[in-house]
Amino acid sequence: MRGEAASAHVGVLVVGGGPAGLAPLLAASARGLLPELLSHGLVVVERSDRIGDGRLGGYVINSDSSAQTFLSCLSGQHDSRIADLASHPVALEIARFGGETVPLALVGTLLRLVGAALADIIAEAPAGRVMTGYEAVGTRERADGRWATRLRRLADGEITEIVSRTIVIATGGQQSDSWLVRTQIGGQPLLPAYGDRLLHSDHAMTEDGLADIARRLSAVPAPKVAVIGGASSAIACLRVLLEPDRLPPDAAITLMHRSRLTLFYPSAEAAMADGYTAFGLDDICPVSGFVFRFGGLRFDSRSLARQLLGLDADAADARLHLHPLQSADGVVTHEMAEAWGHDRRVLDQADLIVCCVGYRPRGLPIRDVDGSPLPLAMHRPGGVLAGPGCEVLDAADEPVDGLFAIGLAAGFRPGKAMGGEPSFRGQINGLWLWQNDTGLLLAERLLAILRLQPDLAMAIRPAADDGEQRGIAAA
C-alpha cells in the first residue's frame, strides 16, 4: 500500500488538531453551526495520537491568560458532550484559579478532554473523520479549484489523498535556526558562533528541555546562563530557571533584551501609582484604557519583571542580571562597537544560551495547479501566513482561494475596532480569541464557500463499517 494514494472528497480539511485547529469548530459549535459544517464533510488530520492540546499542555509554565478564559469555550455549547465538561473535575480545578494564572499542564488536560469530545462529534457525522497519526505533507490546487492534500500515515508511510474545497492550516509555529543565523547580537550572528550552547525557549519550557538543561549544566561549576529576549517567553524561562534546585546558588542568569520590559496595568493611574512610568500615550489602549493591553507582561512574568525593574519591595533573585542589548542597525559608532564587545563577552562566558525569539508559522507546502511551489507572504522575512480574515496570503498579499490559517504565529494582528495600544506591532496569539471572534469568523467564511457548492457532501459515501475508515470512502 506504501506510496499508493487513496482519496476522499470533503468540504473542509483541518490540518493540525491543536488548540487553534479546533477553535473554529468550537466557535461553530457554540453558535449551532457545527452540524452544518460537518454536513459538508470535514476531516481533521493530526500528526500526534490525539487532538486537543497541541504543544500547549507540554509547557511547564503557568498561563499568561486567566484560568477562566480557558473555560469559556465550554459555555453556550449546543452539544452536551462539550457543555458537560464544565462539571468535569479538571474544569472545576481550573475554575478554582478564577481570574488568575493556571498551570498550562492542567489547561492541556482540559483541552484533551475537549478534543476527545469533538472527535466523538466529528466521527458521528457521516462525512466526518479525525485522522490522528497522519501528517499532511503538502497540498496542490486542482483545476476544479479544490485542493488535493497528501497525508502520510506515520506508522507505515501509507499515503492518502484528501480532496477538499477548503483547508484550514493550523500547524502551529516554530522557532527556527534561520533566525539565529540572521540576527546579530554583539555584532555577529548567534549561529554558527555559539551553536552547541544554544537552546530554543520552546524546548526549554518542556520537561524534555529541562532534562536537557540539567544534563548540559550538571558538571559545570557556577554555571552561567544567558536568556535572550524581552517578552513573555523570556521571562517565563527565567522563572523556570529560578525554580528550586534547578540551578545552584552560585549560578548567574543574564537576561539580554533589546526591547524594554513592558508591564500590563489596568489604567495609567494604576501604573503611575506603582511607580511604573516607562509608557506614553501610544502605549494606552483607547478602548479599555489599559496600559500595554496586548504587549504587556501579565501574571507570574509581570511579578518577576516588577522585581527586575525595582518596583517590588522584594528584590529579584540575586542570580539574575539585566543586560540591555545594543541595536544592530545603523552606523557602527565607537560606543556601539564597545557595547557589542560587552554583549559578546556575556555570550562567550555563557555555558547555555536560551533564545526566546518568537515564532514563525510552520505552514504547509503548497503547490499551484501546475505543480510549482506557490510563493506566499510568509516566505518573506517577517511576512504573515494569514491576513485579518484568516485567509492565506500569497506573495502579493492576495488571498489564496479556499486556503485559511489560524493559530500560533499565523499572523493575526488586531484591527482598530479591537483597540489595544497603538504602539503594539506584534501578533495576538490567544486561545480565547481563536475560540471566539476569530474562530467564528473563520467558520462563517468556510460555510459561505461551502453553501455555494452543496454537491460536496455528495462526494462522500456513507460511513464504512470499519471504524478506521469511518465517514470517508476512497473515491
Ligand X SMILES: Cc1cc2nc3c(=O)[nH]c(=O)nc-3n(C[C@H](O)[C@H](O)[C@H](O)COP(=O)(O)OP(=O)(O)OC[C@H]3O[C@@H](n4cnc5c(N)ncnc54)[C@H](O)[C@@H]3O)c2cc1C
Is residue 233 at the binding interface for ligand X, with CB under 6 A as the rule? Answer: yes
Residue 473: its H or E element:
none
The DSSP 8-state label assigned to residue 111 in this structure reads H
- 3-class SS shares of the chain: helix, strand, coil, % to 5: 35, 20, 45
Piece of 63-71, 87-95, 159-167, 453-461 that binds ligand X (CB under 6 A): 63-71
Is residue 162 at the binding interface for ligand X, with CB under 6 A as the rule? Answer: no
Amino acid at 406: I
- Work out which of 55, 293, 360, 470 binds ligand X, going by CB under 6 A: 55
- Work out which of 8, 14, 16, 403 binds ligand X, going by CB under 6 A: 16
- Work out which of 10, 13, 19, 356 binds ligand X, going by CB under 6 A: 19
**Is the CB of residue 285 less than 8 Å from the CB of residue 268?**
no
Site mask for ligand X (CB under 6 A), range 331-360, x = bound: ------------------------------
Is residue 65 at the binding interface for ligand X, with CB under 6 A as the rule? Answer: yes
The residue among 170 and 320 lying less far from ligand X, judged by its C-beta, is 170
Q: Which three cell numbers stand for residue 400?
A: 489564496
Nearest distance from residue 171's CB to ligand X, in Å?
Answer: 4
**Is the CB of residue 59 less than 8 Å from the CB of residue 205?**
yes
Tell whether the torsion through CA atoms of 130, 68, 301 and 103 is positive or negative.
Answer: negative
Piece of 54-62, 73-81, 156-164, 440-448 that binds ligand X (CB under 6 A): 54-62
Size of the site for ligand X (CB under 6 A): 33
Is residue 430 at the binding interface for ligand X, with CB under 6 A as the rule? Answer: yes
Q: Is 317 exposed, middle or buried (0-12, 13-18, 19+ CB in 10 A)?
A: middle
What residues pair up with 162 in beta bridges, in sequence order? 8, 149
Is residue 408 at the binding interface for ligand X, with CB under 6 A as the rule? Answer: yes
The residue among 13 and 180 lying less far from ligand X, judged by its C-beta, is 13
Residue 459 falls in which region: left (phi positive, over 0), alpha (psi -120 to 50) or beta = alpha
Nearest distance from residue 232's CB to ligand X, in Å?
Answer: 7
The residue among 295 and 407 lying less far from ligand X, judged by its C-beta, is 407
| DSSP tally for the chain: helices H, then strands E | 15, 18
Query: How many angstroms separate the CA atoms of 7 and 148, rounded?
Result: 9
Q: Is 313 exposed, middle or buried (0-12, 13-18, 19+ CB in 10 A)?
A: exposed
The residue among 8 and 364 lying less far from ligand X, judged by its C-beta, is 364
Nearest distance from residue 228's CB to ligand X, in Å?
Answer: 15
User: Under the rule (CB under 6 A), what is the footprint of ligand X?
Assistant: 15-21, 45-48, 54-56, 59, 63-65, 135-136, 170-172, 205, 233, 362, 364, 407-408, 429-432
